[in-house]
Structure 1
């Protein structure tokens, strides 16, 4: 019975026998080791990607969502500039995730907050100046109701501003660190088994993000939504900070949200948010591997 249960929990691409005449693209991506992702994360990511929701629902949702972004932008012209309903927005997002989104997707969403906090803490700990951080580490989907998506965007910009101000005031720059402090880098304490698995939890991560993006725009001020969209291009900024500390610029090759000085349209915010999540997973995996290497070297 245990073996059957374990098999049933495996994604379809790991249950199907390899057929050279009809190879699974998901199996190829899972077995490929060119991207720095641990197996349990890659398995969840690809299991979410091979779902019928992503194959059949996403192509319809994406153009509708982008059309709504344009229409809401027009509406924002006549709506009072500072109108927002952030508490209601986060209740909608948390409830939608809890009752309609796949467990793998919800697990990846919660992991993202923890990994983002750890990466900023890593930069702060290895900076030549003192930098304040405000880590967000939700343990369940209900924790997101405390405006965590908005706070996540604010934290990122506030960190970059505080770090930049402190470095300028001290006339210093980030530099390679011979023995970096990896103490804050660890596997987030959230399990996939703890995620909701109701009958309606079938929407994949990419489709859910496309659905939620115009909702995010509608219930926030125009300024908050633009800032959230522009925060995605700080992936390269954060990547450069870490690469400088580690003295390893080659690890920037897999970044897609680039050129923070050239803001992109909000129309592709949903797709770019998925890339942001994947980039964060890969950067965290890289730091986890380097932490293990340093521990072995110092043992």
Structure 2
């Protein structure tokens, strides 16, 4: 395994680096590259100084746009324009670390759904998203991601109900859909203007997302984050390891939260996805070596 900046960093007992501690800690399953990207992003100047200024204004915009949409609910909606703006913003202003994490999310999300399907006895239509560069954003990538999640849950449970069966651990676990470290994502734009961290970018884009989508689309996107618990339960049932549900942060989809905090919950959603994918990857490697990870660190 290639060593990173955090691996090479010397420990100063009187001034330990908190980011190094988080990187080296293996108590929570996490892809090494993804963790490095996330920590580099989290300690950026943009997140430290710009986010506290941007966040209250962004959340105020969400409230104002909601009021506007009460009067003219579909006046400004255009998913195509939304994704053109997202593509331009990501290409021009978002850091390469944040952009890679965003594209990683679509890839691993598709793999997690494929894992669940492949370990059931149902046959349902899938629409995997495997973007390798930012051009894929133009094809309504974010909107389709949300639609995929709801369609998957509806189709899966319809099939289970029709066949009068329930999710359960399979006789032989199928992890063929889970990729190793490399997802084939191309290098991201890295100009001087690409400085926005992931959290700040999400806070800025969320009001734009709300403005240019119908109220139904935005509500669905916001509340899909709480489906982390649903997907987590599916995976934990298949793996027969309910203890991993402790990793969940977004919960209780039957009690929708305010869209005000959608940006923050989106970060937690990304973390949960990375943790579950890393857990499945760890399980895959353990099975390939003929061993058992025993859910250890």
Relative to the length of structure 2, the TM-score reads 0.93
- Cα distance between partner residues in 2 of 1:82 and 1:161: 30
- Cα distance between partner residues in 2 of 1:210 and 1:15: 33
Count of residues paired in the alignment: 289
- Cα distance between partner residues in 2 of 1:82 and 1:255: 37
In the alignment, what sits opposite 1:124?
117
Residue 160 of structure 2 is aligned to residue 195 of structure 1: no
Note the alpha carbon deviations across 1:201-221, whole angstroms, 9 max, x for none: 111001101110001000000
Q: How does 1:1-299 map to 2 (within 5 A)?
A: 17-81=10-74, 84-187=77-180, 188-191=182-185, 194-297=187-290
Contact kept in structure 1, 2:78 and 2:212, CA below 8 Å? yes
Note the alpha carbon deviations across 1:84-117, whole angstroms, 9 max, x for none: 1111100111111111111111011001111000
Contact kept in structure 2, 1:82 and 1:221, CA below 8 Å? no
RMSD between superposed Cα atoms in Å: 1.8
Greater mean alpha carbon deviation, residues 75-84 or residues 221-230: 75-84
- Cα distance between partner residues in 2 of 1:98 and 1:16: 31
Q: For structure 1, list consecutive stretches of 5 or more residues without a partner in the other structure.
A: 1-5
Q: Secondary structure at the match of 1:297?
A: coil
Compared CA separation, residues 127 and 100, structure 1 to 2 (3 A): same
- Cα distance between partner residues in 1 of 2:189 and 2:7: 23
Q: Secondary structure at the match of 1:202?
A: coil
Contact kept in structure 1, 2:31 and 2:274, CA below 8 Å? no
Contact kept in structure 2, 1:124 and 1:132, CA below 8 Å? no
Relative to the length of structure 1, the TM-score reads 0.92
Q: For structure 2, list consecutive stretches of 5 or more residues without a partner in the other structure.
A: 292-297
- Cα distance between partner residues in 1 of 2:133 and 2:117: 26
- Cα distance between partner residues in 2 of 1:140 and 1:191: 6
In the alignment, what sits opposite 1:3?
none
- Cα distance between partner residues in 2 of 1:16 and 1:34: 20
- Cα distance between partner residues in 1 of 2:251 and 2:68: 29
- TM-superposed CA distance for 1:22, in Å, is 2.0
Compared CA separation, residues 75 and 15, structure 1 to 2 (3 A): farther
Note the alpha carbon deviations across 1:245-267, whole angstroms, 9 max, x for none: 11000111011000111110000
- TM-superposed CA distance for 1:270, in Å, is 0.1
Compared CA separation, residues 16 and 56, structure 1 to 2 (3 A): farther
